[in-house]
Amino acid sequence: MEYYSNQIQLLIEQLASLPGIGGKTAQRLAFHIIDMPKERVEKLAETILKAKQTIRYCNQCLTLTDQELCPVCRNPSRDQKMIMVVENPRDMSAYEKTGKYEGVYHVLHGAISPMLGIGPADIRLKELMHRLEKEVDEVIIATNSSLEGETTAMYISKLVKPTGIKVSRIASGVPVGGDLEYIDEVTLLRALEGRVEL
């Protein structure tokens, strides 16, 4: 039985299609948007469209940005010789929140997963190897502690070790199966400080 008119139902369905938004949350958001002043709704819609049109990959680390280089890569005080490899921009953001990491990043946009048909060519490894042609002292592998993250870490280690660049992996403290974006800053900091060479 339908409770809402077609347009309300469409709005709820569109909101529910977003990750982490269930039916009840989508319904609550839909009614909030409907109750908002028209100018705020227009501003929200305009901001979403503008973000979609202008956001792209950073030319260096491949995180999302609206400029050629992201703020981290543009920052002259960051150590360009230390690269932390993460699976996605949310993981990069999680480490930035610790305020203690002074190097730069490389975002893979995924992890190797043979079961899902994702191989090394499907993530941004070629770009990482290209960056390593410059002067780099250490690559810190900070992929998730999942089967895919561990597989990706071992693969990267095997690629980087022959270059003579130090390769380390974030220490445990990050629970197995946990996603970095949901872990508190203290745990992330301990994992970073306790990293081990592979």
Q: Is the four-CA dihedral 14, 19, 22, 24 of positive or negative sign?
A: negative
Nearest to 27 by CA among 42, 8, 44: 8
Residue 61 near residue 107, CB atoms below 8 Å? yes
- Label residue 138 exposed, middle or buried (CB < 10 Å: 0-12, 13-18, 19+): middle
Please tell me the predicted confidence (pLDDT) of residue 138: 96
Structure token pair of residue 193:
């400080």
186 band by pLDDT with thresholds 50, 70 and 90: low
Structure token pair of residue 99:
């305020």
The larger pLDDT score, comparing residue 175 to residue 113, is at 113
Nearest to 158 by CA among 195, 129, 188: 129
Q: What is the arithmetic mean of pLDDT over 69-97?
A: 95
The helix (run of H) or strand (run of E) holding residue 49 is helix 38-54
List the domains of the chain with CATH numbers.
6-54 (1.10.8.420), 64-197 (3.40.1360.10)
Residue 109 Ramachandran class (φ > 0 left, ψ -120 to 50 alpha, else beta): left
- Count of H-run helices and E-run strands, the chain: 8, 7
pLDDT at 149 over 60: yes
Task: Return the bridge partners of 104, or none.
Answer: 83
How do beta strands 196-197 and 79-86 pair?
unpaired
Please tell me the predicted confidence (pLDDT) of residue 1: 45
The larger pLDDT score, comparing residue 186 to residue 29, is at 29
Please tell me the predicted confidence (pLDDT) of residue 14: 94
Could you read off the pLDDT of 150-171 as tens digits, one per residue? 899 999 999 999 999 999 988 7
Could you read off the pLDDT of 84-141 as tens digits, one per residue? 999 999 999 999 998 899 999 999 999 999 899 999 999 999 999 999 999 999 999 9
Q: How far apart are CA 26 and CA 161, in angstroms?
A: 47
Q: What is the arithmetic mean of pLDDT over 67-92?
A: 95
The residue to which tokens 């199966």 are assigned: 177
Compute CA 67 distance to the chain's CA centroid, rounded to the nearest angstrom: 17
Q: What is the arithmetic mean of pLDDT over 70-90?
A: 96
End-to-end alpha-carbon separation of the chain, Å?
A: 58
Please tell me the predicted confidence (pLDDT) of residue 191: 76
Residue 69 near residue 124, CB atoms below 8 Å? no
Please tell me the predicted confidence (pLDDT) of residue 91: 94
pLDDT at 31 over 80: yes
